[in-house]
Structure 1
């Protein structure tokens, strides 16, 4: 505490009692150079130089190991419109093998273009059809085969009857799924998609590839290439992230129960922002010897797989020691003699926004998930939780995947 006007004693400057008179050298050790000093410096800087050189050689060898192939562009779409010569709509309501809850359509409310590019936007079924909330849950038949719109086969994929007692409901959300199947595909090459991910709980955007034919058997025996997948949820609840994270993977296995995607996958997670805030380039480069996915630049790889590290994908997976349903597995790939099999066939591109699902992409009990994957009424549980998730979707196209451009090159000269 200070008292105004109180006498403050004057401080004396410190003075050494040992050094009273005369001058003295502040750094006597600097007056004479030690004869070994120049060698110590030479050794130090020489070691630094050698370390830098070795690091440069390692970086160059890693870069050189990824061959720069020649490529021929087969698709360059900036989405002035949805070109029917390139894209087809996949229309169904069966969940595409992942138990997702959306009904995919070709409705312009779910897929359209504007100055920003292509928008794939999920909507509530009650907002974009005459189907009422009461009909969603009871006494209404949706039959896409009768309507002439279903693009696949199977009763469950094309039709559903809502029944309050059974807990079966009409798909409460509509979205879109576009693919280049039968129109633009490649075996080895590159794909780059410039896109912005959606924001909203239980939205599942994906940029991915599937084989034109099931050459080696049903999924995943013939492979799947996931270039970029994300969750619309905020990422804190998930070890692999939400909309702040991009996941890439190869799916492969002799049967679905032995999908070995976890051996060929990776993720990239942002800090203090997320992939719904701005556009990024999501790419894949694929050859007979390797495949890797990247974000914005080939230098930012999400995962890298060197095929010829193993004799075959069968050996990579170690499936010879695997038993499923009390039976040994059949090797569908090694007979080709190519280490990249099944990733040695034509693959096409898919762009879509799914909603929910029962395959574990959204783990049970995480993020206030309102349904259980094993529940026979999972879709109804999701719909009953609408008050929790729908406000997170926001307005307009922010709930959708926005694609500014798609470029595809096949390996080799044009």
Structure 2
């Protein structure tokens, strides 16, 4: 054989043997449990730190990456496998399980999309003793799960292998990210993670001036695997008529550029009568472009407003060019109307704000309220557009190439939404921005006017009326927040 040909063959063999093929999420082992339940698992590989299962029964995924009826992250392996278990679902012959898988391995995200499994007469059903605790080892004699068939070996590539990380347009904390990777995931199972910092301030601007934001455990806490943000009365914490007298000093933990100390009140200048919680990732996480998904239950009660926002990190303190992205909001009043239009808890809105300019998109309910149950709110943010969803249904989109820009003199049509944003979650009560003069609440006029200097005092005087609408549902509950690179 010619020496040049021999050298070529040796070079090719060395490249082929040493090239590392990118990880591929293996096929899932699907097990139907008896009398009810479902178990989905994949084998462990070195470097895996997370396995996520997303599934629907008899309903295919429209876009491929929706959360689905079942959505769960698994953070640890057991017996050499990463396993999702649902002990409540009951499957029958003919049911089709549509699902997709997500794995983080060596810090990179990998997907297996558009999968399906049909329950049939040949399905292997595993008997489950409901009296045995979930983590008890399988007793002897129980059939072992069948081995996942080894897929046929793929043809050996001649071209160099595709790199595992494809850089996306997403930037996190100043660095480009891998396309499709999960760059932020906050679950509230045990405690509020270090990703979040409490906002502490006395009132704010016209949007939240009726509220004291503090880090009290009565206003933000973990319960039933959710972050709960709940408003309370300042008088309940400090004593009767404290809002009318004071003083209030939060200086030791203040996070505001404005003073967190208010001396004894004089005349109409009273303290904000409500205490609530507000948290942000401003000190730990910010990003430009991505997919945000939030599973949350919105609050119910007069004058309460949930906050699930993205705020511009670099322009946050420039009021005229401050960029806010509202992922989901719904005012808590039962029947709130403005110009004969319902703007209360039957109306969900999301959208974009730049200073005083607002571009809101809405989804209205014919029956019930948006606070009745948990919903999945999603937003896709790219250089060209925003797309807003609720429960996998598209609400609206804004396109920077075709829709009017927010800043007309900027060379970038998507400005100021071309800067990194951080996440803010909270709940405020009353204020001016959300409640224009002329609205009616169950037929009655709003108890304050926005042009009054004593608007806080008038709101406080009406406490007996609005506070009686508050109950156990007057709280924002968040199960998780995820952000992916586009």
Distance in 1 between the 2:343 and 2:404 partners?
A: 34
CA deviation digits over 1:214-265, x for unaligned, max 9?
Answer: 18x712414111111111101353425211111112112xxx4xx321xx32
Q: 2:456 is matched with which residue?
A: 379
Contact 2:213/2:278 (CA < 8 Å) preserved in 1? Answer: yes
Contact 1:227/1:284 (CA < 8 Å) preserved in 2? Answer: yes
Shift of 1:365: 4.5
Q: 2:212 is matched with which residue?
A: 103
Counterparts of 1:395-410 in structure 2 under 5 Å? Answer: 396=472, 398-410=473-485
Q: In structure 2, list runs of 5 or more residues that go unmatched.
A: 1-61, 64-167, 171-178
Contact 1:220/1:251 (CA < 8 Å) preserved in 2? Answer: no
Q: 1:73 is matched with which residue?
A: 182
1:391 lines up with 2:486 in the alignment: no
Shift of 1:83: 3.4
Q: 1:208 is matched with which residue?
A: 309
Alignment equivalent of 1:144, drawn from 232, 250, 265: 250
Alignment equivalent of 2:440, drawn from 353, 356, 366: 366
1:135 lines up with 2:242 in the alignment: yes
3-state DSSP class of the match of 1:381? helix
CA deviation digits over 1:39-68, x for unaligned, max 9?
Answer: xxxxxxxxxxxxxxxxxxxx99xxxxxx99
Distance in 2 between the 1:232 and 1:310 partners?
A: 31
Alignment equivalent of 2:231, drawn from 122, 139, 142: 122
Contact 1:235/1:245 (CA < 8 Å) preserved in 2? Answer: no
Contact 2:265/2:271 (CA < 8 Å) preserved in 1? Answer: no
Distance 1:311-1:391 versus aligned 2 partners, 3 A rule: closer
Look at both structures and tell me which one has the larger radius of gyration over its CA atoms: 1
Contact 1:136/1:169 (CA < 8 Å) preserved in 2? Answer: yes
Q: 1:55 is matched with which residue?
A: none
3-state DSSP class of the match of 1:71? coil
Contact 1:222/1:343 (CA < 8 Å) preserved in 2? Answer: no
Counterparts of 1:83-98 in structure 2 under 5 Å? Answer: 83-98=192-207
Distance in 2 between the 1:358 and 1:236 partners?
A: 15
CA deviation digits over 1:357-378, x for unaligned, max 9?
Answer: 0235354442132111111111
Distance in 1 between the 2:395 and 2:326 partners?
A: 11
CA deviation digits over 1:5-58, x for unaligned, max 9?
Answer: xxxxxxxxxxxxxxxxxxxxxxxxxxxxxxxxxxxxxxxxxxxxxxxxxxxxxx
1:237 lines up with 2:332 in the alignment: no
Q: 1:321 is matched with which residue?
A: none
1:352 lines up with 2:426 in the alignment: yes
Distance in 2 between the 1:351 and 1:191 partners?
A: 13
Q: 2:361 is matched with which residue?
A: 266
In terms of fraction of residues, the more strand-rich structure is 2
Distance in 2 between the 1:133 and 1:270 partners?
A: 39
Contact 2:407/2:416 (CA < 8 Å) preserved in 1? Answer: no
Shift of 1:386: 0.9
1:249 lines up with 2:351 in the alignment: yes
Distance in 1 between the 2:483 and 2:352 partners?
A: 19
Distance in 1 between the 2:333 and 2:295 partners?
A: 21
Shift of 1:289: 0.9
3-state DSSP class of the match of 1:237? strand
Q: 1:323 is matched with which residue?
A: none
Shift of 1:99: 4.3
1:168 lines up with 2:245 in the alignment: no
Distance in 1 between the 2:452 and 2:264 partners?
A: 17
Distance in 1 between the 2:296 and 2:485 partners?
A: 21
Distance in 1 between the 2:204 and 2:235 partners?
A: 19
Contact 1:292/1:303 (CA < 8 Å) preserved in 2? Answer: yes
Shift of 1:98: 1.7
Distance 1:399-1:99 versus aligned 2 partners, 3 A rule: closer
Q: 2:325 is matched with which residue?
A: 225
Distance in 1 between the 2:343 and 2:439 partners?
A: 15
Q: Aligned pairs, how many? A: 308
Distance in 2 between the 1:100 and 1:286 partners?
A: 30
Q: 1:37 is matched with which residue?
A: none
In terms of fraction of residues, the more helix-rich structure is 1
Distance in 1 between the 2:198 and 2:223 partners?
A: 18
1:183 lines up with 2:284 in the alignment: yes
Shift of 1:126: 2.1
Between the two structures, name the one with larger relative contact order (CA 8 Å, sep ≥ 6): 1
